[in-house]
Structure 1
């Protein structure tokens, strides 16, 4: 971002009165009202330019991106207003219930609806986005180790990968099995992404979180999410886990705006227990996916239902369920 120009006449070096300066960002132009001479104004403008660019995330983000994805207004030295439009969704559910499969297919459904989607896998196994490419991508932990944990050397293209349907994806990763705290890594994943200003490029950000809410680390995505979606089936164990997750959402909603979007029934032939649960604990049922074997097979093949439907048109009706969730 270049210096747009100086507004106001020359003040002269012998002028006694010192006026306060004011800076604002409008249409990629800097407007300054300095009380100094010409040479001092140039030097002050240069350092002000560096300071304001640094406060806005350094040189990694251009004014064109700011204008497209948000509105930045700086008045004086203290006031900063940044309005963004991304929506963050956290997907939870009992382990093995099909969260990752549902998340990947829903992400593609959102992309088909014209949204720019980033899916963040919050599982040390780093297999959340496997069906979007058919292989495991390097995690944030892997990349950080390569960079010797110098986060300033990590760029978006180092950790964000494009998958099927144009969906971007990130894997948090975690410690080796039986060592360290996976929940801590999940909680720390968002920080480098924020440092990279990665969130501001997307309309929808989906957190695919492993298992039940066992501790504060695994509940960390709820601190950033606007909505929570719970994946379940028509069984007691999955609904018991859903009830714990709903309690966690209620607890988190006391500290920041967080809403429970509803339940998604995955691969179930009935919904009688689901109906009994939502009768006792009212919440929306977004969709109930049928008991289709191809949903499970898609995980083994490393493909989403949308990709499989390109060669198996009979699966298009299953894709419609995910499109309904996206709507």
Structure 2
């Protein structure tokens, strides 16, 4: 299903360290092996949002390319070599950030996205553009995919841990704010399991109260770490594994998704109350 755009532009948000980049890259790999044409834009100054697709831990970023280009270059001159081809011919771009201690990382994302648009790297021949956005920051440049309507579908990656849910709820507040002036909508919640008590029930309840749904549940499996150590997605490293099938099922659910909502964020008190109730019930039943 498409929301009236070609390509479909999707942003993934979530608390730092929750597995957002691993999840988004495996979704991309699953869609790529199914024949979809994709561009993945890493919006993290660490420039590691596409490393499993390209096998490059230190890919040269857009901002590094811009800085190294001749000072004598004409204004708006093309910047070469910012697109790297990864698994299944997926186009990968890392926005990068300023030199350490200098400038604003959010501003770097804005400059990078403006550049790839100007150079025609986002085009109608693509089926999907993925934006993998740093942590749970929803201000400045990190909110650009929402604020500017670049991404009309947002997926929140969370576990059943409280800090992860707080971050997802905070991002939902940002989506609500910018939805009023554009077409950005919440596509759903992805539960990336950490095996905490009552986790899936808690995340489903959270999604329901937001006015959304859980589009996929990704189990915790050591094959994920093994694939990352080999600088590959699970789809490439262990294509026959149950974990790879879980990512394929999630990719299919996103492709078929027709439920897009303006979220209703929870109060902190309600979020804590909900988590406590489900945790106590899980302990009672164990």
Using structure 1 for the length normalisation, give the TM-score: 0.69
Q: How does 1:103-142 map to 2 (within 5 A)?
A: 103-135=24-56, 136-142=58-64
The Cα offsets for residues 254-288 of structure 1, whole Å up to 9 and x where unpaired, read as 11111100100113333132123123222121101
Query: Aligned pair 1:293/2:249, yes or no?
Result: no
Structure 2 residue aligned with 1:188 = 111
> 2: CA distance between counterparts of 1:210 and 1:112?
26
TM-score by length of 2: 0.79
Instruction: Please name the residue that 2:260 is paired with.
Output: none
Q: Which runs of 5+ in 2 are unaligned?
A: 256-286
* Pair 280,258 (structure 1): closer, same or farther in 2 beyond 3 Å: same
Is the aligned partner of 1:206 residue 2:130?
A: yes
Q: Which has the higher contact order (CA 8 A, sep 6+)?
A: 2
* Higher mean displacement: 165-174 or 279-288: 279-288
TM superposition shift of 1:175: 1.4
Q: 2:181 aligns with which of 255, 268, 288?
A: 255
Separation (CA, whole Å) in 1 of partners of 2:100 and 2:78? 25
In structure 1, the partner of 2:161 is: 235
Instruction: State the match for 1:5 in structure 2.
Output: none
**2:245 matched to 1:317?**
yes
Query: Residues 325 and 294 from structure 1, CA distance in 2 versus in 1: closer, same or farther, beyond 3 angstroms?
Result: farther
**How many angstroms apart in 1 are the aligned matches of 2:184 and 2:244?**
33
What do residues 33-86 of structure 1 show as CA deviations (whole Å, max 9, x unaligned)?
xxxxxxxxxxxxxxxxxxxxxxxxxxxxxxxxxxxxxxxxxxxxxxxxxx9621
Local SS of the residue matching 1:145: helix
Structure label with greater radius of gyration: 1
Cα deviation code 1:7-48 (max 9, x no counterpart): xxxxxxxxxxxxxxxxxxxxxxxxxxxxxxxxxxxxxxxxxx
Tell me the number of residue pairs that the alignment of Structure 1 and Structure 2 aligns.
243
- Are the counterparts in 2 of residues 116 and 202 from structure 1 also a CA contact under 8 Å? yes
Aligned equivalent of 2:231 = 302
Unaligned runs of 5+ in 1: 1-82
Q: Which runs of 4+ in 1 moved over 6 A?
A: none
CA distance in 1, matches of 2:220, 2:5: 39
Deviation at 1:176, TM superposition (A): 2.9
Aligned-residue Cα RMSD (Å) equals 2.0
Distance 1:235 1:250, change over 3 A: same
Contact 1:147 1:154 in 2 (8 A): no
* Distance in structure 1 (CA, Å) of the matches to 2:115 and 2:42: 14
Question: What is the Cα deviation at residue 314 of structure 1?
Answer: 5.6
CA contact (8 A) 2:218 2:243 kept: no
Preserved CA contact (<8 Å) 2:9 2:130: yes
Contact 1:235 1:273 in 2 (8 A): no
